[in-house]
Amino acid sequence: MDALDERGPGVSGAGGRAGVSGAGGVRAYGDKRNDGAVQVSFTLPVAKSAVAVEAAKRFVLKMGLREPYVTLAEPIAPDFTYFVVYGRAAHDVDLSAIAASDAAAPDLSRDEIDAEIARRFGRRLVVLGCALESDAHTVGLDAIFNMKGFSGDYGLERYHGFDARNLGAQVPVAEVARRVREDAADAVLVSATVTQNDIHVRHMTELVDMLEAEGLRDRVVLIAGGARVDHALAQELGYDAGFGPGTTPSRVAAFLLEEISRRLPRAER
C-alpha cells in the first residue's frame, strides 16, 4: 500500500504517521502538523449498498489514505453512488526537490508598465489574442484583453503601451500566423477554454508548428492561458509562458514587458 512512490526522489515512502517527516518533507494539514488530513469526493458506478460503501473505503485506502471515514454515500442515480471520504495521507513531499515555477514577472502597476514600454521601446507593443480553431470561448481572452479586465485589474486594451488586438475565438492557426506576419506582432496570447480530450494541447501544438514552419516563432513571444494551462505545460509545448486560472492582466503585461525586452536584440538583429 505504501508503494506509491513512483515520482522519483522527493516523495518518500513515509512509513507511518507517527514520526515527524524528514527535512523539507511536507504533509497535508488538518488541525495539527503532520496529521495528513485529506478530503476526497468521487462517484463509483455502483448502486448504494454496504458493498458500495466498503468499496469506497478500499478505493481510498488504495489512494494511500488511512483511516477512511465515509461521511456521505449518496445514491445519485440507480447505479451510481457519490462519496465524500476523509482520511489521513501517509505521504510527504520534499519541497527542496521541486523545480516547478510560475512564469517570472516583476510586480509592476499598469502605469509603471506603460512607462517602461515607452522608455525601452519608444513604441506600442503589438499583442494578438485569440482562441484557436474549434475553441469558441472568449471568457479567458476577454478577462486579459478587455478594457474592463478581471478582478479589478484593467485589461491590455487599457494600456497605452500595448496595441492589443483581440482576434476573438475560433481563429485558425494559419490565420494567426498570417496576422503575426502582417501585423508585425510582438506577442501572441492563446486562450484555451475547451480542453475535452486534450483538444487544447493539439491546437496549441499546431500553432507552434505553424509558426516554426513559417519562420515566425522566434519573432514573437508566445503565451498560453486557460483553466487547464500552467507554466510547465506551456513550456513543454514550446511556449514562452503559461498562465493558469485567476491570472490578472497586469501579471501578463509585466511578463510581456520583460520577455519582449529580453528577446528584442536578437529579434531585431
Question: What residues are annotated to the active site?
Answer: 148
Establish if 138 lies at the interface with other proteins (CB under 8 A).
Answer: yes
Q: Given the rule CB under 8 A, which of 38-46, 48-56, 211-219, 232-240 is the region that contacts other proteins?
A: 38-46
Q: Does the protein bind other proteins through residue 92 (CB under 8 A)? A: no
- Does 232 interact with other proteins (rule: CB under 8 A)? no
| 37 counts as binding other proteins under rule CB under 8 A | no
Q: Quick one: which of 41, 49, 71, 109 contacts other proteins (CB under 8 A)? A: 41
Q: Does 165 bind other proteins (CB under 8 A)?
A: no
Helices 110-121 + 249-267 axis angle, to 10 = 10
246 binds other proteins (CB under 8 A): yes
Strands 241-243 and 221-226: parallel
The correct pick among 9, 23, 100, 196 for binding other proteins (CB under 8 A) is: 196
Q: Which is nearer to other proteins, 28 or 199 (CB)?
A: 199
Three-state helix/strand/coil letters over 24-90: CEECCCCCCCCCCEEEEEEEECCCCCHHHHHHHHHHHHHCCEEEEEEEEEEEEECCEEEEEEEEEEC
Q: Residues near 154 by Cβ (< 8 Å), separated by ≥ 6?
A: 110, 147, 148, 249, 250
Residue 22 vs 246, nearer CB to other proteins: 246
**What SS3 class is residue 230?**
coil
Compute the chain's Rg from CA coordinates.
Answer: 23
Instruction: Write out the three cell numbers for 78.
Output: 440507480
Q: Should residue 47 be labelled a site residue for other proteins when binding is judged by CB under 8 A?
A: no
Which CB, 142 or 186, lies closer to other proteins?
142
Q: Which stretch binds other proteins (CB under 8 A): 18-26, 100-108, 195-203, 210-218?
A: 195-203
Sequence-ordered alpha helix ranges (H) in 169-248: 173-182, 199-213, 231-236
Q: Nearer to other proteins by C-beta: 82 or 121? A: 82
Among 2, 74, 212, 236, binds other proteins (CB under 8 A): 74
β-pair type (162-166, 125-130)? parallel
Q: Does 80 bind other proteins (CB under 8 A)?
A: yes
| Crossing angle of the two packed helices 173-182 and 199-213, in degrees rounded to 10 | 40
Instruction: State how beta strands 162-166 and 187-192 pair.
Output: unpaired
User: Which of 53, 57, 120, 134 touches other proteins by CB under 8 A?
Assistant: 134
Q: What is the DSSP letter of 171?
A: B
Shortest distance in whole angstroms from residue 72 CB to other proteins: 10
**What are the residues binding other proteins (CB under 8 A)?**
41-43, 74, 76-78, 80, 82, 133-139, 142, 146, 148, 168, 170, 194-197, 199, 227, 245-246
